[in-house]
A and B are shown apart, each in its own frame.
Chain A
């Protein structure tokens, strides 16, 4: 794959450094001459100086044959336009934009960007996982379809113990897809019975997450 990264800040730099070790062909575009000089000393010829918002520069960078454009500058409006121009002018199949303001994620999808990454949101989610007091911990959210993957620890007071999965009052839009027992993952059947210390992995639609939570919730106090 040929990947063009626009923006040679910390995100772009480390992304490029990681990608050049793989089989992918990488090019980093950096507007600022000073930053360009600094990172090209280390990364060499995969760095080019120029404004990724300019079609002329993107032509020089070979955007026509790029498989993906990753826009990771510090400005959301620039990342949006870089990705949109890549699609409109060069028909780049995949565009990925860094979103600094997490509220822009939905907007960018609506405006045709294939994927967005918000470090603010990722860090926020990690913090939420760390301080989560509930048994149900969100692991990932699928971009389309509003579906989440969640992890549930089965404690000694869990109401789901000693009953096969088919007898649990699970909400309709929830599915237990895996049970991890003593570091060994298995695919559950209708007859699987939870034991203390198990971890259940479930798929659930976002609006049914709290119902799933109620099924697994330990009787506190």
Chain B
């Protein structure tokens, strides 16, 4: 599958590495070329420098033919705008966006955008572990991450 990942921070670069290792055709977009250092040496996917809400940059990243578009930059609003461009203008089959503000995340989720809110997920996991000694996800995803580095 052709995947575009917008934002090469901790989340974006980790996602890029694991999906690349799974055999996907991965393109990473970031404003700063030095962010691509986080991808390490094993990542052989495409790297595009540019602003993710600029349609020229998105076209260069191959948005017209991609199957999955993920927006995980630091900026909620940038993610929201990029996700809407991917979904509304380019009809990308699967679009996901990170929105850290729970209020905005909820509004856009209701508006039909697949939204992941790091704030509510983290606080939920912490609350579960603190009060019940169980957490749903952490172990498995951590193993995935460790094997992608091996």
Contact = CB atoms under 8 A, between A and B. Distances in A.
A76 B103 CA distance: 20
B54 A77 contact: no
Contact of A107 (B77, B85, B104): B85
A82 B84 CA distance: 15
Interface in A95-132: 101, 103, 107, 110-111
A110 B103 CA distance: 23
Contacts of A85: 104, 107
B37 to A, nearest CB: 25
Interface in B76-109: 76-78, 80-81, 84-85, 88-89, 101, 103-104, 107
A78 B80 CA distance: 10
Contact of B77 (A75, A88, A89, A110): A75
A89 B80 CA distance: 16
A158 B103 CA distance: 62
Interface string A165-191: 000000000000000000000000000
Interface string A53-66: 11110000000000
Nearest to A55: B103
B134 interface: no
Given A53-B77, A110-B88, A77 B53 contact: yes
Interface residues of A, number: 19
B55 interface: yes
A53 B53 contact: no
A80 B81 contact: yes
Contact of B88 (A77, A84, A111): A111
B124 interface: no
Contacts, number: 46
A103 B101 CA distance: 28
A73 to B, nearest CB: 10
Contacts of A56: 103
A80 B77 contact: yes
A89 B53 contact: no
A80 B80 contact: yes
A81 interface: yes
Nearest to B84: A111
A122 B76 CA distance: 29
Contacts of A81: 76-77, 80-81, 104
Interface of A: 53-56, 75-78, 80-81, 84-85, 88-89, 101, 103, 107, 110-111
16 contacts: A53-B76, A53-B104, A55-B104, A75-B77, A80-B80, A80-B81, A85-B104, A88-B107, A88-B110, A88-B111, A89-B107, A101-B54, A107-B85, A110-B88, A110-B89, A111-B88
